[in-house]
Amino acid sequence: MRDEYDLSKLKFKKNPYAKKLKKQITIRLDSEIIDYFKAIGNDNDISYQSLINLYLRDCVKANKKPLTKWVRAS
């Protein structure tokens, strides 16, 4: 192995997977939601964050809409 390497001749390429990288955000979830996904994740050896991402991806693919019912304050 060499003591030093000449890196000036290297040609760098753009990361072909850069468009598929995940974006970090902050989201507030109820503790019951986090505990639920953590339990499922532990049973399946997957992180709860990846599990939530997979679930939300399935919702997008299936075009699922959240059931919301807004009640006006009197």
| Residue type, position 5, single letter | Y
In a domain, 72, yes or no: no
Report yes or no on 40 lying in a domain. yes
Q: Establish if 14 belongs to a structural domain.
A: no
> Per the structure, how many domains does the chain have?
1
Residue 69 resides in a domain? no
For the chain, give the number of residues: 74
Asked if residue 52 is part of any domain, the answer here is yes
Q: Return per-residue pLDDT of the chain as tens, 74 residues.
A: 788 888 888 888 888 887 788 888 999 999 999 999 999 999 999 999 999 999 999 999 999 998 888 888 87
Q: Is the dihedral of CA 66, 30, 38, 17 positive or negative?
A: positive
